[in-house]
Amino acid sequence: MCGIAGIVEQKPGAAPARDVLERMASLLQHRGPDDQGIAVRGEAGLAHRRLSIIDLSGGHQPMEGAGGALTIVFNGEIYNFREVRSALESKGAAFATRSDTEVLLQAYAAWGERCVERLNGMFAFAIWDAPRRRLFAARDRLGKKPFYYALTADRFVFASELKAVLAAPGVPREVDPEAVDEFLSSYYVGGARTILRNVAKLPPAHWLTLEGGRLAVQRYWRPTFRADDPPRRDEEYQEEVESRFRDSVRRRLISDVPLGAFLSGGVDSSAVVAMMAAEGGPRVKTFTIGFEEAGYSEIEDARVVARHLGTDHNEHLVKPEATAILPNLVWHFDEPFGDSSMVPTWYVCQMARRDVTVALSGDGGDELFAGYARYQRALADRRWSCIPGPIRRRVLAPVVDALPMDAPARNRLYAVAHHSALTPGYGLGLYPYIKSWLYAPGMRERQGNGNGNGDGVSTAELERVDLVSRLQWIDTMSYLPDDILTKVDRASMAHALEVRAPLLDYTLVEFMATVPARLKLQGGVSKVLFKRLLAKHLPASVFTKRKQGFAVPKGTWFRNELRGTARERLLDPRTLARGYFRPEAVREILTQHEEGKRDYSDWIWCLLVLEEWHRLFLDPDTRRV
């Protein structure tokens, strides 16, 4: 794992300043504390911070190839680099190191842009092709590793994190109000958009070229949900999934540094640990986070699995004062991020890093095997589809809109009335009627409709597959990279910890897209096929426990220990003067939550994060860049 950054000057004869590249690299030091490298090649400058995982003595970056014609900076791991290396050696390539970085560089030299189609891994990289005066950059299929960039009249700037982009001269800091609205709608700013108008993200499964001042972005992969023809027997699906899953875990055990795993006691993380244990070798080191509040902690569930698999188990209890790390969280996440599970994720990464440099996680299991409860809600709400959409919107919607703000069923009825199951993160975020009540005058007029599906795909396209597959597809293309994987990347890299997700091996993702929906969700039971194949590896309690997620007891915290903190920050004149929200609405949210009339903790958390972000990244007297 590493941090990358770079500049390509657009004016003839200009060269990037080394001190600017060093400043950009210094802001990424947490991602790579082991080494730093800077290279200036004509109008291009590349910077790198390294966390050494494979070939500890080799693999220094920026790395040159093709007789100095190519220079690369690379963040991530290529799990099939040995196979790719063998293919290149059969074409006459020779290697000076054991690193996957050199394999990647030579793959580009041999196959050009199409090299990314041969890679199995998590990555974001950039290659400067000096003879062509061309920059080529790419991001992995599922979006595990980030890539921010900005193109101004003077230069193209890129980095692993937004803060490093802002360290380059001339990058404007103008907030995009539609991005603020998207943050409050989904808890994140997704796709190519960022919180700033003039900075973008390279989306997952895309490559980018900059040549002659022209910027081009192109998609190279997308999962396709389709039924097998002819369909296989259930046993054949199960055998294939188990084989691919084992191979995926095995690939992610390659490391020259200590390695462990996160363990929540749920199906996905327990499955990963079970496969690690089945590979033999030293006892697997496992790490679990819990809370004092009843109903939130999974520590005992994790202990059951750890004892069953014989792991070297470690635990940490998160307490309310943990939110004192909010400034650090917001700083490392770069953009406003409203998923409060960032808190326990931060602490489990911090704990794991004391013993290991690499950890495996169960991320992706809910998208892969249809584990989210909202999928079951969507199926239950499908009965309303017999009512034509225009009638639902014109007749049912006004009735729903007339309900009191604190009516318990209002959110659910709103989703039915507006048929919002096809939006990213279905069931998450603040519904439009809530935002209309919260926003200050004029704020709504600055927004778009906020109802994209995250990938520019039409509803007609999505309706060619069953509802479960449709929701899986949307989550895989939006919620997974923009929430789950963003959370894990930022929290782990803040502690120089590499996290690998075996369930997100793209070959497994592609195969699961062919598995019938009935083997994912059936009769209210989720992850049907996955649970069947795991039954011989895990205790029965794993499959009967209530699905819990990585929730934080912030409702209790904001009514008690953190009550004063929230009120002081959100009613600060400096906060209210930003003009996003009506002061009386903010006061009502805080009061009703404190009095226990309704749980507004998600809203309070999002507003706190948004305000902290402004202070760390925008306000001249407090910003850190």
Q: What does the block give as tokens for 28?
A: 């990424």
Rg (CA), the chain: 24
**Rounded Cα gap, residues 3 and 32, in angstroms:** 6
Torsion angle of the four alpha carbons 346, 347, 352, 354, in this order, in degrees rounded to the nearest 10: 110
- Angle at alpha carbon of residue 246, lines to 81 and 503, rounded to 5°: 80
- The dihedral built from the CA positions of residue 186, 191, 197 and 199, taken in this order, carries a sign that is positive
3-state secondary structure of 353: helix
**Rounded Cα gap, residues 113 and 134, in angstroms:** 12
Residue 176: count other Cβ atoms within 10 Å of its Cβ: 17
**Rounded Cα gap, residues 566 and 432, in angstroms:** 23
DSSP-H helix ranges across 279-394: 299-309, 326-333, 342-353, 365-369, 373-381, 389-391
Q: If you write DSSP's letter for every residue of 292-321 in order, what string do you get?
A: SSTTT--HHHHHHHHHHHT-EEEEEEE-GG
Closest CA to 79 of 285, 250, 274: 250
b/e string for 515-541 if b means 16 or more Cβ within 10 A? bbbebbbeeeebbbbbbbbbeebbbee
- Angle at alpha carbon of residue 605, lines to 602 and 611, rounded to 5°: 140
With tokens 């390509």, the residue in question is: 8
Closest CA to 204 of 217, 215, 216, 195: 217
Say how many residues make up the chain.
625
Told to judge if 2 belongs to the known catalytic residues of this protein, a careful annotator would answer: yes
3-state secondary structure 488-507: HHHHHHCCCCEEECHHHCHH
Q: What does the block give as tokens for 139?
A: 């991001």
Contacts of 39 (CB under 8 A, 6+ apart): 45, 46, 47, 62, 64, 71
Q: What does the block give as tokens for 574?
A: 């400096």
DSSP-H helix ranges across 322-453: 326-333, 342-353, 365-369, 373-381, 389-391, 397-401, 410-418, 432-438
Q: How far is CA 534 from CA 26, 154, 623, in A?
A: 44, 55, 49
Q: Is 618 exposed, middle or buried (0-12, 13-18, 19+ CB in 10 A)?
A: middle
Q: What does the block give as tokens for 130?
A: 């000096």
3-state secondary structure of 344: helix
Q: In which order are the strands placed within the sheet that holds 44-50? A: 35-41, 44-50, 2-9, 155-159, 148-151, 200-201
Select which of 2, 115, 349, 606 is catalytic.
2
Show which residues are catalytic: 2
